[in-house]
């Protein structure tokens, strides 16, 4: 038996896998040894921390525009506007929509329930779908992702942009979190929008993208009065993300400060 588990350890170690995959293999074999009451010394692996790919917004929009299925287009637009985990979006029900608010009532592990404001465009896209099930997207993850990989390959070819092949469902979430932090510098806001229970999972989005142009002061507003106050002090409306209005104004040119 000693020879067997030494062989198992060597076999796992020789695989061209990432440490995270090797950890799963060790956990699986460890479960078997416990079930069979076999003693062994499991190898230890530390999972690598990989920074996610963050695309340009135009690349996400090209994918959505390239959809031949209204359901796929609505699914991707929902990912883009809510920054939700794809598993959370697949579990959305029609009763989770109220006006322009989508409620994540059934979050994935280590996420909190939350309410997210979306655009009239997205609501119209969702309402155009068949109401034949309690769920908005009555399909399995593997099925919709298989269709997505074909879409991604076709759009990447049409646009002559291989970067599009690096986009996954979670990429929409990474893009939204990165852009929100860049424009607001509010890590707690990003944590709230993503539904993270621990802010440690949110910190990675503070250094995903380097912007060369930081010539603007940025502020946010969630009410009409806050928007009026910003406008009266020289801020211009820039965009809205998850119901939060983002304003900006050029910084004073440092060269001429004495």
Instruction: Kindly report the number of other CB atoms within 10 A of residue 90's CB atom.
Output: 20
Mean pLDDT of 155-180: 94
Do 235 and 247 form a contact (C-beta atoms < 8 A)? yes
* Residue-level pLDDT at 20: 67
Q: Give percent above pLDDT 70 in the chain.
A: 88
> Are residues 239 and 174 located together in one domain of the fold?
no
Say if 31 falls within a structural domain.
yes
* Residue-level pLDDT at 217: 74
Choose the weakest-confidence range: 24-33, 62-71, 172-181, 225-234.
24-33
> Are residues 166 and 66 located together in one domain of the fold?
yes
Mean pLDDT of 227-256: 73
Q: What is the mean pLDDT of the chain?
A: 85
* Residue-level pLDDT at 256: 25
Choose the weakest-confidence range: 32-46, 144-158, 208-222.
208-222
Say if 115 falls within a structural domain.
yes
Say if 177 falls within a structural domain.
yes
Choose the weakest-confidence range: 25-34, 45-54, 222-231.
45-54
Domain residues for the domain of 6 are: 2-35
160 CA to centre of own chain: 24
> Are residues 231 and 165 located together in one domain of the fold?
no
* Residue-level pLDDT at 160: 96
> Are residues 31 and 65 located together in one domain of the fold?
no
Say if 52 falls within a structural domain.
no
Could you read off the pLDDT of 29-45 as tens digits, one per residue? Answer: 777 778 878 777 788 77
> Are residues 140 and 88 located together in one domain of the fold?
yes
Our count of domains for the chain comes to: 3
> Are residues 252 and 147 located together in one domain of the fold?
no
Cα–Cα distance measured from residue 78 to residue 55, given in angstroms and rounded to the nearest whole number: 17
> Are residues 99 and 151 located together in one domain of the fold?
yes
Say if 41 falls within a structural domain.
no
Could you read off the pLDDT of 113-124 as tens digits, one per residue? Answer: 999 999 999 999
Indicate the pLDDT class of residue 17, thresholds 50, 70 and 90: confident
Asked if pLDDT for residue 253 goes beyond 50, the answer is no
> Are residues 77 and 175 located together in one domain of the fold?
yes
* Residue-level pLDDT at 102: 97
190-221 residues labelled b (16+ CB within 10 A) or e (exposed): bbebbbbeeeeebeebeebeeeeeeeeebbbb
Say if 211 falls within a structural domain.
no
Indicate the pLDDT class of residue 221, thresholds 50, 70 and 90: confident
> Are residues 61 and 31 located together in one domain of the fold?
no
> Are residues 173 and 250 located together in one domain of the fold?
no
Say if 163 falls within a structural domain.
yes
Mean pLDDT of 208-220: 64
CATH code, domain carrying 112: 1.10.443.10
Say if 63 falls within a structural domain.
yes
Asked if pLDDT for residue 132 goes beyond 90, the answer is yes
* Residue-level pLDDT at 257: 28
- Of 221, 239, 238, nearest to 230 by C-alpha is 221
Mean pLDDT of 79-97: 96
> Are residues 100 and 152 located together in one domain of the fold?
yes
């Amino acid at each position: 038996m000693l020879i067997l588990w030494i062989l198992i350890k060597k076999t796992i170690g020789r695989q061209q896998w990432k440490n995270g995959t090797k950890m799963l293999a060790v956990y699986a074999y460890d479960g078997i040894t416990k079930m069979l009451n076999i003693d062994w010394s499991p190898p230890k692996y530390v999972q690598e921390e990989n920074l996610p790919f963050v695309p340009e917004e135009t690349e996400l929009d090209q994918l959505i525009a390239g959809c031949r299925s209204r359901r796929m287009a609505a699914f991707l637009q929902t990912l883009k506007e809510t920054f939700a985990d794809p598993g959370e979006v697949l579990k959305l029900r029609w009763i989770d929509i109220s006006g322009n608010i989508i409620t994540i009532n059934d979050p994935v592990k280590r996420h909190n329930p939350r309410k997210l404001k979306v655009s009239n465009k997205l609501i119209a896209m969702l309402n155009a779908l068949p109401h034949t099930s309690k769920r908005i997207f009555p399909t399995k993850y593997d099925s919709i992702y298989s269709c997505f990989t074909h879409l991604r390959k076709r759009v990447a070819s049409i646009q002559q942009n291989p970067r599009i092949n690096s986009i996954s469902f979670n990429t929409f979430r990474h893009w939204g979190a990165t852009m929100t932090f860049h424009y607001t510098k509010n890590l707690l806001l990003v944590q709230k929008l993503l539904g993270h229970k621990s802010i440690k999972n949110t910190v990675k989005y503070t250094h995903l993208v380097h912007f060369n142009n930081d010539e603007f002061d940025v502020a946010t507003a969630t009410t009409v009065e806050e928007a009026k106050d910003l406008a009266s002090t020289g801020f211009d409306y820039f965009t809205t993300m998850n119901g939060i209005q983002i304003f900006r104004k050029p910084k004073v040119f440092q060269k001429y400060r004495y």
